[in-house]
Amino acid sequence: MRTLAQVSDLHFGAEDPLVAKALLADLKSLAPDLLVVCGDLTQRARTREFVAAAKYLAEAPSPQIVVPGNHDIPLYNLYRRFRKPLRKFSRAFPDARTEYVDDEIAVVGLNTARSLTIKGGRISVRQIFALRKKFEEFPDDLTYVLAVHHNILPHPRARGGGKLGRAERLLKAFAGKRLDLALAGHLHRSAGEALARVVPEPANTVFGLSGVSISDRTRREGNSYNLVRVERGEIEIERRVYRASRFIRAESRRFTNQAGRWRLLRE
């Protein structure tokens, strides 16, 4: 069994120090096998925000996969935005992995933040096919996990429902192939149905969405992150919420794989 802590939307620069401290304590006590940070580490991609985020993650459990979000690309400095969009990010997290593989899971993190769009994000055709090739090369008995910032599915109840650009293309490319679990953030809403779902086709994948971890940009939901347990043929996604100075278990969804197909287990 492997446990992954899925944390996103830290938004340093708009972080709540008490929540940040509580999250660190929770992560340390749960000691996940892998910390997956699904983007938006900063509020405005300012150097001091990256420095604070880097200092924070240096104290958190590792190994870590860290992918950037739309907020991690400089917004106002157009030279930086278009010519060196990820320079500050890469400098802040030189040791962050984009890939983690052991004898149970293979996790790949991809950048979906783009200079041309302020909020939205996109996966490139090249990224899609490189990911597919990578997963084909890993041993068959691993659980294959993708980590990105932008939500691959729209929120089940939100109107409009923006999502990752070329999400359909990604899912189509995995028709008949394996993409067991895809983790994302960005929506700042992960309660209820949004937390985890399976869309059976074209790819048969469990989608896990994390909320705002430590920032005060929480909309209505409060702060949360996910603890993901992966065991061969089973995935559980637990939403942990901040209540009275600590993170506690709020809700969870379990999925099972039968005959190669993921489905939600009714409690």
Q: Which residue in the set 40, 72, 180, 238 belongs to the binding site for Fe ion (CB under 5 A)?
A: 40
189 sits near Fe ion (criterion: CB under 5 A)? no
Question: To the nearest whole angstrom, how small is the minimum distance from the Cβ of residue 15 to Fe ion?
Answer: 12
Calculate the dihedral angle through the C-alpha atoms of 122, 113, 116, 74, rounding to the nearest 10 degrees: 180
Query: Which residue, 9 or 33, is less far from Fe ion as judged by CB?
Result: 9
Which of the 8 DSSP states describes residue 58?
H
Site string for Fe ion, 6-25 (x = CB under 5 A): ---x----------------
- Distance from C-alpha of 154 to C-alpha of 209, rounded to nearest angstrom: 11
Residue 224 interacts with Fe ion (CB under 5 A): yes or no: no
Residue number of the CB atom closest to Fe ion: 40
Running DSSP on this structure, what letter comes out for residue 146?
E
Cβ-contact 181, 215 below 8 angstroms: no
239 contacts Fe ion (rule: CB under 5 A): no
- CB atoms < 10 A from the CB of 106, how many? 21
Q: What is d(CA 7, CA 178) in angstroms, rounded to the nearest whole number?
A: 24
Interatomic CA distance for residues 241 and 229, integer angstroms: 17
Minimum CB separation of residue 162 from Fe ion in Å reads 10
Among 66-74, 92-100, 189-197, 221-229, which window interacts with Fe ion (CB under 5 A)? 66-74
Binding window for Fe ion (CB under 5 A); candidates: 56-64, 125-133, 184-192, 241-249: 184-192
Q: Is 69 in the site for Fe ion (CB under 5 A)?
A: yes
The H or E element spanning position 80 is: helix 78-83
Collapsing DSSP to helix, strand or coil, 177 comes out as coil
Per CB under 5 A, the segment of 38-46, 78-86, 103-111, 197-205 that binds Fe ion is: 38-46
**What residue ranges bind Fe ion (CB under 5 A)?**
9, 40, 69-70, 186
